[in-house]
Structure 1
Amino acid sequence: MSSLESAGSVLAHHPQPAQLASLPKVRDVQISPDGSMILYQVQPFYKAPGRALSELWIAQTNIPHSARRLMDRVFNDRAGVFHPDSRRVIFLSDRHDPGRPAIIHILDLDATENSDSDPVAVCIDFRKEGVQAFELSPDGKMIAFTSKDPTSEEEARKVQQKDDAIVFSAHGAEPVDRYPRLRIHNFSTGETWTPEGLRKDRYIEAFTWSPNSTHVLYRLRQGRGSEFTEREVTLESISIEGSAVPRILGVYPRSPSGQNIWTHSEHIISLQSYEAGNILDARTIFAHRHSMDRSFTPSEGAQRLYGLKEDAVRIVNARANSREDITAVAVEICSDTDTHIDIITVDPSTRDMKTLLTVFQTEQEAVWFGAWDAKTIVDEAGRISYIFAAVLSSGVRHEPPNVWTRRVSHDGHEVSPKLRLSSHLQYLAEAPVFTTEVIQWEAVDGTVLSGLIRYPPGYSTGGGPRPTVLFIHGGPYRMESWSVSVRYASSVATAHLSVPEGGSLTAWGVTKTKTRFKAAIVGAGVANWEGMIMESGSPELEEKSGISPGFV
């Protein structure tokens, strides 16, 4: 059992706030390129005592309950991925200096099967500043990562003498010379270099490799702060060979969601609002046919998939490493209270992207906050199948979050049924069972809305009104404030903890209805929308949402 979970049975009966905050969270699921293994991360849900700690776990995709801890949990091991050979794991860790910034480590899985092999640190020269993010090249020969330049003697002197005041500028509070820079590391030669020509006064918000491992595609914005995600973002690419010059491919009106994907079919795929400049639009897949000899407008002239009736939440490159002729992108789609994972590919006749099949559909369960992956697998006979793995939980079935996997053929037939690979948070089985239902209601404009309701143990419809707990998110307020809105309500008594639009609705609820609610806790409720917009790190969102509720 993981030490993160050792207090589980105690917590089921006598939970303490600090213990609840440090409960384990299962996340960051990765499938090996050969489809045989699942890698994932376990960490405290909110905060652990002392320094940050995190574990990497591994499981066999075809063996139920096969998950095991990959290494001992005395370090902060995270962001693990498989090497294209499926025999090595690359991850970020503070193993070189516990509690300090993380750098890249490599663990040989063949060695760990025979002995207690320790992971090897690479790019050790960046241990003081740490590595912020990394991505392996598709051929597995190189790794791109971002890291700050070493602190200069002058900067160190200012810190020591407390002469390091924060100066706000057009780029926010962080000096541009402290932005992480793009680096390339070659595994075979051990060489690490920084491509020249990239703007140092722009923040690299995301990067990925070209399918042939010769270029890096990246996005630049004006500053690190969340307010800069609502401004123009530049899409560029650069060759990793020689003294290449960056090439501007286009400009987004605001930051896309997550990574871009550059496919073998020469499509560049992004996830944006259906109308790219509209912050409140449903997210949509934009697919551009890319040519190295011309630029394009990332938000115009693209093929769009989803976004009208369904919300595209996340995209993953589900490519098959062994077949360059196969393009596969997995997309998480939300529709009402359900989620499904689709595979989109290239139509051979039109060269447009199209939806091929659905590899997974929730049934009274939920996919945990982007904790899923999908891969295309081609066996020795040339048969194509798709593996899906995710952290799933179900309030209806009283199932805590755990890692599950499923495999389907190219024509959608089930190859392997849904299997549970892990056994985390099992003490929750001792917790009281709540009945959970999906309910629907109609808004004043006729829109049918859906939500979840949970009845306390022993509830019966003949028992009359009961205290009710409503979880309503009314945020966010993205400055020095929690992006949390939790509201407790009943026909007898109400307690609200909500920030900030949720706080406004809480205040409205207790003042307008007078006697329906007897108590409320309002956190950062909005009293003046103009002031809210001026103070917020996401003013565009506040402006769009700062209207009177439809029920007032």
Structure 2
Amino acid sequence: MTLSTFTFRHIGLLGLLGLSTQAIANSPQHKITIDDFFDIGIMKQVSFSPNAKQAIWVESRWDKELDKSQADLWKVDTKTRQTQRLTFSNENESSPVWSPDGQFIYFLTKRSDANEKAPFNGKNQVFRMTSNGNDIQPITKEVEGVNAFQLSQDGKNLYFIGNKTVEETDQWSAMRNSHSAPNYGHGSHESNPLHVLDLEHYKQKTLIDDGKVVWQFSVNQNQSKIARITTDDNELVKLEGWSDIDVYDVNSRTHRVLQDTQWRQQAPSPYGWLLGLAWHQNNQQLAFRIDFDGHPGKLFIADVSQKKAKITELARPDKVTLNGDDVKWRPNSDEVCYRGAIEAKVKIYCSEFENGKQQDTRSVIDADIVSGSYDFSQSGKQLALTHNGLIHFSDLFIADANKRRAKIKRITDINAQVSDWQLPQISIVKWNAPDGSQVEGILELPHGYSKPQGRLPLVVQIHGGPTSATPYALQHRSYGRSTFTADGWAILSPNYRGSTGYGDEFLTQLVGREHDIEVKDILAGVDHLIEQGIADGDKMAVMGWSNGGYLTNALISTTNRFKAASSGAGVFDQRLQWMLEDTPGHVVNFMEGLPWEKPEAYSHGSSLTTANNITTPTLIHIGENDQRVPVGHAQGLYRALRHYLNVPVELIVYPGEGHGLSHYKHRKAKMEWDKKWFDFYVLGIEE
């Protein structure tokens, strides 16, 4: 895409959103800073009121004093666009839903008092407020808290799952009990009994208490059946290959587990994650998903009206990869709807499923959107969704859900400050990989930049996953986007082989070829920007988090073209990763076997094997308690660079953090370290 084409599309989007083009004439004055990152509101978990006249959402913003991201409930009138903040606590609110009559809003949150007794014991409970935000009252009072809840279709019952410790019985139970001081690898787990609370009489009873771990549940509309995703243990490894869908018949009090042949034995990998339970209004058809690392996810519909459930796999549109777990049946229709990644966008698709067969599939919105949360009105005629665009962060939009490829109308502006920002120029750039395959990425250029101004220093910012993609949308991230372009850098975010939204073959070509094909894809993109006269090949840095950190390690052990690197939570050794991470199926999928089955693949896929090639000054970021990419990877890379290879390196371990950085001070430290490191080693700035 040329810059002139970008400008046309950028202005066209303004018209799409119904915003005044006067904003273009008024030159923005504010240069984006690191501090601006902490002032951005993120919208998620949208819920339409039954009459579609109002919508609520969870809005999160960073709070410096609390040293964390804080989430509150907000509401908007879809006609007047007047917004109202509903909660003001120092705790996070989540999972808001309307009562069927629109009078109340139910949600999850924590509250504490001096007595520290439930429901004010600092554990998640279900609370309720009136629709205008008044009279907030706790509804549950579980000693161990509530994990998830669902309001019945008639609003009379509240279903929820709690927590209960189950002691496992085997040959060594007595030994574990008699020597209780050590921690054991197994022997007990937290199960999730399912309870129902009668909201008319406030009487509670337990429906299911079978010792299972429940990752998700869904009650059908007439409350005759309850679907659960279950495992026998809390370990995340159990979810990725040993999880089941259990359907409980409330009247007969019997369970049946859906036959998993289609998503285990007949799938490209047995290590899939079940998610996204959703009942059709006929109370017999259950939609659900399964995701895989390295392979396309699948969408199924099970008809449980028969003795043996008939399970049908739905086809996806060409190139579309399923995205997220928010599968929904559009009310008063036979359409099952889901989000799908397509060429750096995320659209909402609906597939008609009638008489046991898939019919037509449509894209609901007529625009190149990056959709997030979405919800239908009670009638099914209107759609509310969040959307990230090129000139705004997540905001609420509504559309006519009955129309094919409907137009969207913007309802909120939760980040009004952005109107004065000097926004980066965002475009999609395409190039050919060494094997001839077309690859693309998101290119960000400084505000007001044009090629006659000369070449720019380049940051290659690599997305995680790898079964994911960098979106074609405005982002201000602690992992690079918007931060560096404001200081005169170009940023390339490549959607390399293995990324979603480019077809199944593009996705699966990475399997068995990590540390190879995607590295070549990325370097070909760098070469393309140099050939186009945009990037300065002598002033380049690379950064990423999670799989982006893994690929940062792979690139600096493959080439010395980068003058600086920031490796965040990146795998250094695949054997260590299989041994320690919480989802080892990820490694098994990409290595195509277990370590003793594919020793050469594990060696080839590890940057440790070629670490002697590294000369790039490298920042290493890691969370102290990261279970996904444990701290040993960072320690190993640091030891290699500092003690054996004499390469400039800093190891930054964030106390108490997991796979992401949840503290304000840690996020800011990471961003400032990256900027100073790149400025010094790439640009030679010493201040």
TM-score, scaled relative to structure 2 = 0.62
> What is the match of residue 188 of structure 1?
200
Q: Secondary structure at the match of 2:154?
A: coil
Task: Give the 3-state SS of the residue equivalent to 2:352 in structure 1.
Answer: strand
The structural deviation recorded for 1:256 is 4.1
Instruction: For residue 361 of structure 1, report the CA deviation from its aligned partner.
Output: 3.9
How far did residue 311 of structure 1 move? Answer: 1.1
Query: Contact between 1:316 and 1:329, CA under 8 Å: does it hold in 2?
Result: yes
The change in CA–CA distance for 1:271 and 1:130 in structure 2 (over 3 A counts) is: same
Q: Confirm or deny that 1:34 pairs with 2:51.
A: yes
* Structure 2 counterpart of 1:263, from 274, 280, 285: 280
How far did 1:427 drift?
1.4
Q: CA RMSD in A?
A: 3.5
**Percent of aligned positions with the same letter in both sequences?**
18
Equivalent residues in 2 for 1:303-452, closer than 5 Å:
303-306=313-316, 309-314=319-324, 315-320=326-331, 323=332, 326-347=333-354, 350-355=355-360, 357-363=362-368, 365-367=369-371, 370-375=372-377, 377=379, 386-395=381-390, 398-409=391-402, 411-412=403-404, 418-452=408-442
1:350-408: CA deviations, max 9, x gaps?
Answer: 43233354321443x422xx32223462xxxxxxx63222222222xx22321111124
For each residue in 1:432-485, what CA deviation from the matched residue of structure 2 results, as whole angstroms up to 9, or x when unmatched?
Answer: 2211111122233443222210111231112332012332124579xxxxxx97
Show the counterpart of 1:94. Answer: 110
Relative to structure 1, is the Cα distance of residues 164 and 352 closer, same or farther in structure 2, using a 3 angstrom cutoff?
farther
Shift of 1:498: 3.3
Secondary structure of the structure 2 residue equivalent to 1:259: strand
User: Does the Cα contact within 8 Å between 2:61 and 2:70 map onto a contact in 1?
Assistant: yes
Match of 2:214 in 1: 204
1:521 aligns to 2:566 (yes or no): yes
Task: Identify the structure with the greater helix proportion.
Answer: 2
Distance 1:78 1:529, change over 3 A: closer
Q: 3-state DSSP class of the match of 2:586?
A: helix
**1:115-157 deviation digits (Å, cap 9, x = unpaired):** x731221122x1x3221111112222212111114999xxxxx
Q: Give, in angstroms, the shift of residue 46 of structure 1.
A: 8.8
Which of 240, 247, 271 is matched with 1:237 structurally? 247
Q: Would the alpha carbon gap of residues 147 and 283 (structure 1) be closer, same or farther in structure 2, given more than 3 Å must change?
A: same
Q: 1:473 to 1:255 in 2, by over 3 A?
A: same
Aligned-pair CA distance for 1:164: 6.6
Distance 1:21 1:263 in 2: 40
Q: Is residue 228 of structure 2 the alignment partner of residue 218 of structure 1?
A: yes
Determine whether 1:285 maps to 2:295.
no
**Structure 1 pair 509–75 and aligned structure 2 pair: CA distance change class (3 A):** closer
Residues 375 and 353 of structure 1: is their aligned pair in 2 closer, same or farther, counting only changes over 3 Å?
farther
Distance 1:240 1:96 in 2: 35
Q: How far apart in 2 are the matches of 1:441 and 1:376?
A: 45
Structure 1 Cα separation of the partners of residues 394 and 68 of structure 2 = 24
The aligned residue for residue 544 of structure 1 is 589
Q: Which residues of 2 match residues 474-489 of structure 1 at below 5 A?
A: 474-475=464-465
**What amino acid does structure 2 have at the position aligned with 1:232?**
W
- Structure 1 residue 531: deviation in Å? 2.2
Question: Contact conserved, 2:386 with 2:395, CA < 8 A, in 1?
Answer: yes
The separation in 2 between residues aligned to 1:359 and 1:47, in whole angstroms, is 39
Number of residues paired by the alignment? 478
Distance 1:14 1:413 in 2: 35
Q: Matched residues in 2 for 1:233 and 1:151: separation? A: 18
SS of structure 1 residue aligned to 2:575: helix
Residue 128 of structure 2 is aligned to residue 117 of structure 1: no
* 1:535 Cα offset (Å): 1.9
Task: Identify the residue that residue 249 of structure 1 maps to in structure 2.
Answer: 258
2:125–2:139 contact (8 Å) kept in structure 1: yes
Q: Supply the AA of the counterpart residue of 1:310.
A: V
The code of the aligned residue for 1:440 comes to K
Q: Write the distance in 1 (CA, Å) between the matches of 2:480 and 2:73.
A: 31
1-structure distance, mates of 2:289, 2:421: 39
In structure 2, C-alpha distance between the alignment counterparts of 1:117 and 1:16, rounded to whole Å: 36
In 2, Cα distance between equivalents of 1:182 and 1:52: 30
Q: Which runs of 5 or more residues in structure 2 are unaligned?
A: 1-28, 114-119, 168-179, 265-270, 468-477, 482-490, 493-535, 592-600, 611-687
Partner of 1:6: none
Q: Evaluate the alpha carbon distance shift between residue 279 and residue 500 of structure 1 in structure 2; reply closer, same or farther with a 3 A threshold.
A: closer
* Corresponding residue to 1:135 among 146, 150, 163: 150
Give 1:81's aligned residue: 97
* Structure 1: tracts of 5 or more residues without a match: 1-10, 153-162, 378-384, 478-483
